[in-house]
Structure 1
Amino acid sequence: MGKCRCPSSYTIPAYIWAFLSIAAAILCPIGLYFPNWLVRERSGTFDTVSSFRVCLNETSPISVECSSYLNFDQIFSPEWKAVTLLMGAGGCFLVLVALTAIFGFCVRQLFNSVVMILSLIFQALGTILFIISLILFPAGLYVPQTSELCGLTTSRFNIGECSIGWAYIITIVGTFLALVATAMSWTTYRRKNKDDEDDDRDPYL
């Protein structure tokens, strides 16, 4: 039987960038989807909350079975509404870059100058949106609903009696991976531009 070979032109750094981009595009949407951003234990059960989901009386702090969603108007604070929108848009950007990276495994010379700069822009935008969202989320903890869930001491950037859940941590990790991938992409783009300028330079000057 013949072997299927993909004619990739990826270098080792490009493979690392691709895997980081794919990992970020998986982790960030997963973190956004699940409600385990803040967790509070109450008499053997757990309450979990994210920007647009609240799940009460869960049997485990890592439970993924809750199917409770808030309508956009029901989201607790303006900051959390912004988080939901920004992360949704950021996730789309990161997934688009990850799909491009996957195609690059089997499409030789996919990353011309246009594709490279678009991937860099989309990945940078997605990363920035997630960073902003991670900061905005604790800024929206001042509303009465979060005080009911996490205690009366809850306020901006104070999670009260709640603890940080696994979904929020996964989102932070995914955002960090996206940031590293963006830095690698920017470095590669600058190096390519410099090489192109050197190639275009008149050798007789």
Structure 2
Amino acid sequence: MDCYIIVTCYSMLWTILTVILTLSTLYSLTSTKWLIGSERFYEERYVITAQTRPDFPSELEYRPETEVMTRSYNPTIGLYNRCLRTSAQSDYISCGSFASNIGSGHDVFPISWQVSLVLSGVASLLLFVTMVFALLSLCVRDFCRKSIFTISGLIQVISGLFYSVAIAIYPLGWSSSKLHYFCGTQVAAFKKDQCSIGWAYIGVIICTLCIFPTGMLSIKADRATSQDEIEDEILKGKRLICIK
């Protein structure tokens, strides 16, 4: 099968947007910054020795001192993971997943989050497929005798619907007792109490909103690559065709 690389303004714009949206959405979904917990304070102790005090006269005996510094941090929680300090004596922030608890009770892994995780996983798979199609569209215009652009656009709209439902039901899980540590005891469904919305949750919302116009843009890309001018260039024997 002959391969003709066809590039138009609409097809290139659609391809770039599809790749950016896919990668951005996946990055936001895997982040723990969906919810930012209330600020926590802890103490760090440092032992000051003679080696750390070069200004101290070497001929005198220096007695080590302990300096206490108060630091703060915010625990974070995502769709299926979280980051927090596991020990009061350590400044190490531990990040882990509770996706292995899928099927467990509401207080272990909120049911709405489990549903959101499944819907987001399906939507991400669909969106990844459209990214592959978008890259292939540079030299492949048909898939199973259908336009690769319109097929991809339809898949994008479907993935956007899955993401929309996943985003909408995520706040239902805030009523879980698991959130008490992060947000306070007054947290409830759609009430974040002392928590704040993280950039990752906002990022997923923005990406989801952008998926729908990107899916519609695929129609423009399909029309742009079906112009008679392109067929004329193919008949001339050109392999790389660039048209506005």
With normalisation by structure 1, the TM-score equals 0.77
Q: For residue 9 of structure 1, what is the aligned residue in structure 2?
A: 6
Q: For residue 198 of structure 2, what is the aligned residue in structure 1?
A: 165
Query: Are 1:69 and 2:97 matched, yes or no?
Result: yes
Unaligned runs of 5+ in 2: 42-71, 87-92, 228-244
Separation in structure 1 between the aligned mates of residue 22 and residue 158 of structure 2, nearest angstrom? 13
Query: Are 1:139 and 2:172 matched, yes or no?
Result: yes
Rg larger for: 2
Question: Against the structure 1 CA distance between its residues 67 and 54, is the aligned structure 2 distance closer, same or farther, given a 3 Å change threshold?
Answer: closer
Question: Against the structure 1 CA distance between its residues 13 and 156, is the aligned structure 2 distance closer, same or farther, given a 3 Å change threshold?
Answer: same
Q: For residue 76 of structure 2, what is the aligned residue in structure 1?
A: 48
**Counterpart contact for 2:77–2:83, Cα < 8 Å:** yes
Counterparts of 1:190-201 in structure 2, within 5 Å, are none
Query: Are 1:109 and 2:141 matched, yes or no?
Result: yes
Query: Are 1:89 and 2:87 matched, yes or no?
Result: no
Query: Are 1:20 and 2:17 matched, yes or no?
Result: yes
Specify which structure has the higher proportion of helix.
1
| Alpha-carbon displacement from aligned partner over 1:40-63 (angstroms, at most 9, x marks no partner) | 2212112111121121139xxxxx
Counterpart of 1:36 in structure 2: which amino acid?
K
Moved over 3 A (4+): 108-112, 186-189
Q: For residue 123 of structure 1, what is the aligned residue in structure 2?
A: 156
Q: Identity over aligned residues, as a percent? A: 21
User: Once structures 1 and 2 are overlaid, which stretch shifts more, 83-92 or 121-130?
Assistant: 121-130
1:37 aligned to 34, 38, 49, which one? 34
| Count of residues in Structure 1 that have an aligned counterpart in Structure 2 | 180
Separation in structure 1 between the aligned mates of residue 177 and residue 110 of structure 2, nearest angstrom? 10
Counterpart of 1:160 in structure 2: which amino acid?
D
**Counterpart contact for 1:93–1:122, Cα < 8 Å:** yes
| Alpha-carbon displacement from aligned partner over 1:15-71 (angstroms, at most 9, x marks no partner) | 21111111111011111111110012212112111121121139xxxxxx8540111
Separation in structure 2 between the aligned mates of residue 177 and residue 66 of structure 1, nearest angstrom? 33
Separation in structure 1 between the aligned mates of residue 170 and residue 153 of structure 2, nearest angstrom? 26
Separation in structure 1 between the aligned mates of residue 124 and residue 194 of structure 2, nearest angstrom? 30
Separation in structure 1 between the aligned mates of residue 137 and residue 147 of structure 2, nearest angstrom? 14
**Counterpart contact for 1:8–1:109, Cα < 8 Å:** no
| Alpha-carbon displacement from aligned partner over 1:51-107 (angstroms, at most 9, x marks no partner) | 21121139xxxxxx85401112455211100111111110111111011111223x1
What is the CA distance between 1:186 and its match in structure 2?
4.8
User: Once structures 1 and 2 are overlaid, which stretch shifts more, 73-82 or 87-96?
Assistant: 73-82
Q: For residue 79 of structure 1, what is the aligned residue in structure 2?
A: 112
Q: For residue 49 of structure 2, what is the aligned residue in structure 1?
A: none
